Structure 1
Amino acid sequence: MQCYIKRDRSNSTYHLFLGTNASLGESGKFLLAARKVRHATSADYVISLSADDMSRGSNMYVGKLRSNFIGTKFTVYDSQPPHSGAITATKKLGRRVGSKQILPRLPAGSYNVAQIAYELNVLGSKGPRRMHCTMHSISVSALDSGGHAPTPVEFSAIDYSLSSLPSFGSTKSFHFDYSTADAEAARGGFAPLMLKNKAPRWHEQLQCWCLNFRGRVTVASVKNFQLVAANTSEAAAQPPRSSQNDYEKVLLQFGKVGKDMFTMDYRYPLSAFQAFAICLSTFDTKLACE
């Protein structure tokens, strides 16, 4: 899906449109809007289906993106669980009425569906940022041949706090564990899809880091990125049951085309909300990465 994002610096808002030509302004089909809300130690990007009503109390509220103080760790919260199954809590919740256990309705925006982490920029201030995403609501097997985005029957109410993400304050080498047999798989019942940015190549003549955006990005920026799968399922390691090429495809790309205009192209299994939230994270100031 080819989309573009228009930024309004005057009121810290962002609008997502469906369309191939960002130069046409707002002639594309409106999809989502976001507004940045600053707090003492973090910032929220409130995402809404309405460009005129971006409050958390609105029925247009979709979810939010929350950053840490230095803009290196982000959590994506959905207003609704990613499936219609029951909520299984790690602690005893609710009360029992007769033979039924009554669970309280969780407040809007409390379902953690993804986490985003940025690394220290080892290529210098002009080099592209390095980022990693963990999609808690998408199984890595969704990329297999015949695979699909899962609909689990249970959703564990686990505390995925920002502190659980790796710290990037150190100058030591960074390692991100992409193993499918890790604690994340045990938590959600499946190995989550993990994304990493595609490594750019140094262009000797242009003297810059380059990625092939196939004409969709026209302005050089540290914000530009392409995300590919960072881990594979067991089926992908056993061809011909699954095509490895599906794991090498760019699932999300984002880049600058004007002063306040950016393109956003995404593909299955990501949703518009998830892709938009990931792209919003690149607008946040990253004190430890630049």
Structure 2
Amino acid sequence: MSFKSIVREMKDGIGSFSRRRVEGKHWRSCTRSHIVPDVAPLEPITEGRWAHLPPELLLDIIRRVEESETSWPARTVVVYCASVCKPWRDVTKEIVKTPEECGRLTFPISLKQPGPRDSPIQCYIKRDRATSTFRLYFGLTPSEDESDKLLLAAKKTRRATSTEFLISLVADDFSRASSTYVGKLRSNFLGTKFTMYDSQPPSNDAFQANHSCSSRRFHTKQVSPRLPACNYNIASITYELNVLRTRGPRRINCSMHYIPISSMQEGGTAPTPKSFPQEKLPLSSSPSVKEKSLPGSVCSDALVLKNKSPRWHEQLQCWCLNFKGRVTVASVKNFQLVASVDSSYNVSEAEQNKVILQFGKIGQDIFTMDYRYPLSAYQAFAICLSSFDTKPACE
């Protein structure tokens, strides 16, 4: 019997999971995408025979599983371990490191954590024009058996004065009142400026200090009391006016409000949330408040990303960038982002030239997305979504 089968047997022995009434929908969604929700159940569940293994043995088992399963889909075994029972989940969360440390994605919260410093995490985006949806998958390219790892999904909605991309953990629920809602991207009328909103603060400390000051889109009685119905302004994206119109490349500037420039220095750190917020918010008589930033939390020296300037190829008569084989189709949407750092900051030239986010077309409605520290998968996905909106002032 394989270890995966044994873990499944353990999972079946802990009793019925149906008592998690509030989390039921989220559990089903995460089963499809192979990610376990990083929230605690509201009701106690019946523990089975596998819940009382000696701590030393349990720690050794899960550590060996973590070391042996390094990539998807085999890495689902690590998620199965976390699904067995609470002791197994606590030990698994203790052993599994952040993407910055291990370069792997496991639990949903890892999508909000900075990527690895050395090598990028490689993903791809599939666009569905008929439904105006975009799906982010983990992997180099789409597989034939459709067993790819779904990370995030977004739905594009046009409004009278703006365009919104609602981003969710699943591909069939984009409600902002849902526990799967993770944030949104909103454009201005011309499609040249975008605001990135997150459903949670950039770090757990920020939430503890400012949860009562956050903006609220729904009355708290409308949603789960463990999940704040908030939108935090975490970044802004600007597309500069292009005097050459379609004959010239796009010029992009991304201001990451909560990522300091010091994060690019040796020994620097970027905000890293450890879990999804579970605190209850105070009731509000107002069901809707405009989105805003956390008071006193925006960095005075926020990191700014700019697109890497392409070179003009005389023979091909086009603008070119070295995507190292990850982009194969010419498109105005293709770009590479690097850090825009002033010489007064002690940031090495190698770090300044390092591509933090790379996005480009490889087929009909298929695009690659490679990101690294200090961006998270969610932030990188939101930046890439901005390229799909119409920009009459730039093109």
SS at match of 1:257: strand
Does 1:130 pair with 2:251? yes
Give the structure with the larger helix fraction.
2
SS at match of 2:190: coil
SS at match of 1:277: helix
Does 1:11 pair with 2:131? yes
Q: 1:207 aligns with which of 305, 312, 317?
A: 317
SS at match of 1:188: coil
Cα distance in 2, alignment partners of residues 28 and 279 from structure 1: 20
Query: Would you say how many aligned residue pairs link Structure 1 and Structure 2?
Result: 244
Question: Counterpart in 1 of 2:332?
Answer: 222
CA contact (8 A) 1:139 1:149 kept: yes
Does 1:28 pair with 2:148? yes
Question: Counterpart in 1 of 2:195?
Answer: 75
CA contact (8 A) 1:17 1:26 kept: no
Normalised to the residue count of structure 2, the TM-score between the two structures is 0.58
Does 1:195 pair with 2:315? no
Q: Displacement of 1:127 after TM fit? A: 2.2
Q: From the superposition, tell whether residues 128 and 80 of structure 1 become closer, same or farther in structure 2 (CA, over 3 Å).
A: same
Letter in 2 for 1:56: R
Q: 2:355 aligns with which of 231, 242, 250?
A: 250
Question: Counterpart in 1 of 2:267?
Answer: 146
Q: From the superposition, tell whether residues 26 and 133 of structure 1 become closer, same or farther in structure 2 (CA, over 3 Å).
A: farther
4+ runs deviating over 6 angstroms: none
Of structures 1 and 2, the one scoring higher in RCO (CA 8 A, sep 6+) is 1
Question: Counterpart in 2 of 1:261?
Answer: 366
Larger Rg over CA atoms: 2
Q: From the superposition, tell whether residues 257 and 233 of structure 1 become closer, same or farther in structure 2 (CA, over 3 Å).
A: same
Q: From the superposition, tell whether residues 256 and 280 of structure 1 become closer, same or farther in structure 2 (CA, over 3 Å).
A: same
Cα distance in 2, alignment partners of residues 137 and 234 from structure 1: 20
Letter in 1 for 2:375: L
Cα distance in 2, alignment partners of residues 56 and 43 from structure 1: 16
Q: Select between 24-33 and 55-64 the one with higher mean Cα deviation.
A: 24-33
Question: Counterpart in 2 of 1:103?
Answer: 212
Deviations 1:60-82 (A, max 9, x none): 00000000111000000000111
Cα distance in 2, alignment partners of residues 123 and 213 from structure 1: 23
Q: Displacement of 1:262 after TM fit? A: 0.3
Deviations 1:102-148 (A, max 9, x none): 93653234200100000112333132211100001111111111111
Q: From the superposition, tell whether residues 271 and 187 of structure 1 become closer, same or farther in structure 2 (CA, over 3 Å).
A: closer
SS at match of 2:382: helix
Cα distance in 2, alignment partners of residues 109 and 126 from structure 1: 41
Cα distance in 1, alignment partners of residues 367 and 349 from structure 2: 30
Q: 1:66 aligns with which of 174, 177, 186?
A: 186
Deviations 1:211-259 (A, max 9, x none): 00000000001000000001248551xxxxx532112100001001111
Q: Displacement of 1:55 after TM fit? A: 1.2
Cα distance in 2, alignment partners of residues 211 and 25 from structure 1: 32
Q: From the superposition, tell whether residues 187 and 232 of structure 1 become closer, same or farther in structure 2 (CA, over 3 Å).
A: farther
SS at match of 2:246: coil
Cα distance in 2, alignment partners of residues 46 and 120 from structure 1: 26
CA contact (8 A) 2:215 2:292 kept: no
Letter in 2 for 1:140: I
